[in-house]
Amino acid sequence: MKRILSIQSHVVFGCAGNSAAVFPMRRLGMEVWPINTVQFSNHTQYAAGWQGMAMPAGHIGALCEGLGNIEVLGRCDAVLSGYLGSAEQGDEILAVVAAVKSANPAALYFCDPVMGHPEKGCIVAPGVTRFLTEKALPVADIMAPNLLELETLCGVHLATLAQTRAAAHQLLESGVKMVLVKHLGRAASVAGRFEMLLATPQGDYLISRPLYDFARQPVGVGDLISALMLANLQAGHEAVSAFERTNAAVDAVLRQTWEADAYELQLIAAQGAFADPVIAHRAERLADALA
């Protein structure tokens, strides 16, 4: 059994951050140790707002110290980080990553660089974006940005698939071992599809799934993608297989959510797809030349 330390947000109601990630990873057979960066009543894109707080400075470090005291850090196989409540939490997370890798040099750091989209109601604290770009990027083994986050990480505007591949390879050249671009958006190769890109030193792969016509787009899809990709990798699937399984499982969740006319992701209803996804869409290997 693999063990994943998941450090991100938590909502009491609905599915975002750890509330979207922990159950799917456990359903895939992972032992998950959640640490919450914030605890909110609900995600921040409800018109009525939300209640809750970011965890105070020192909280993450103290929990890690407690894990060290009972000598379990060496059993941790991966650290997953997502939404941060403050830039200071980022420094604490990197200290956790260092402690885990000291105890288990084979452990991975999977960074989901959540930078927020104010126009959608997703807001991050001051300094978080700078932390992700300047401090998290040099340490991460795997990065999973969306298109806007990839633009920020690389300081470029991306409008085409070729440009997006070049930006992903910029991250690879900086030392990241794998880049998952979770949503290509305007850089997609086919309009009307949800496309993702997987960039590795061995090659680049493109995959797609249907876009569903939601009245309100569900929140937490990116958190789910990152969690499933990491869990599939930890379960022993090679990169492309993990990519295909992740895409299929996310499609099953989105289809179930759309059919239920729901705003929150229907993780329980679609849980069978986490461990046994029906792969209808295969990843396409792209030509090696970046044009």
Q: pLDDT tens-digit profile of 239-263?
A: 999 999 999 999 999 999 999 999 9
Residues 6+ apart with CB under 8 A from 173: none
156 to each of 114, 139, 149, how far by Cα in Å?
17, 21, 10
Q: Are 20 and 227 in contact (CB under 8 A)?
A: yes
Q: What pLDDT does 291 receive? A: 47
Q: What pLDDT does 118 receive? A: 54
CATH code of the domain in which 11 resides:
3.40.1190.20
Residue 227 lies in a domain: yes
pTM confidence score: 0.95
Residue 291 lies in a domain: no
77 marked ligand binding residue: no
Residue 35 lies in a domain: yes
- Our count of domains for the chain comes to 1
Q: Going residue by residue through the chain (291 aa), what tens digit of pLDDT does each one get?
A: 999 999 999 999 999 999 999 999 999 999 999 999 999 999 988 999 999 999 999 999 999 999 999 999 999 999 999 999 999 999 999 999 999 999 999 999 999 999 866 555 556 777 899 999 999 999 999 999 999 999 999 999 999 999 999 999 999 999 999 999 999 999 998 888 899 999 999 999 999 999 999 999 999 999 999 999 999 999 999 999 999 999 999 999 999 999 999 999 999 999 999 999 999 999 999 998 654
Residues 6+ apart with CB under 8 A from 67: 33, 73
Residue 11 lies in a domain: yes
Q: Are 33 and 64 in contact (CB under 8 A)?
A: no
112 marked ligand binding residue: yes
91 marked ligand binding residue: no
9 marked ligand binding residue: yes
Q: What pLDDT does 110 receive? A: 98
Residue 23 lies in a domain: yes
Parent domain of 183: 3-286
Residue 61 lies in a domain: yes
182 marked ligand binding residue: yes
Give DSSP secondary structure letters for 95-143. HHHHHHHHH-TT-EEEE-----BGGGTB---TTHHHHIIIIITTT-SEE
144 marked ligand binding residue: yes
248 marked ligand binding residue: no
3-state secondary structure 45-76: CCCCCCCEEECCCCHHHHHHHHHHHCCCHHHC
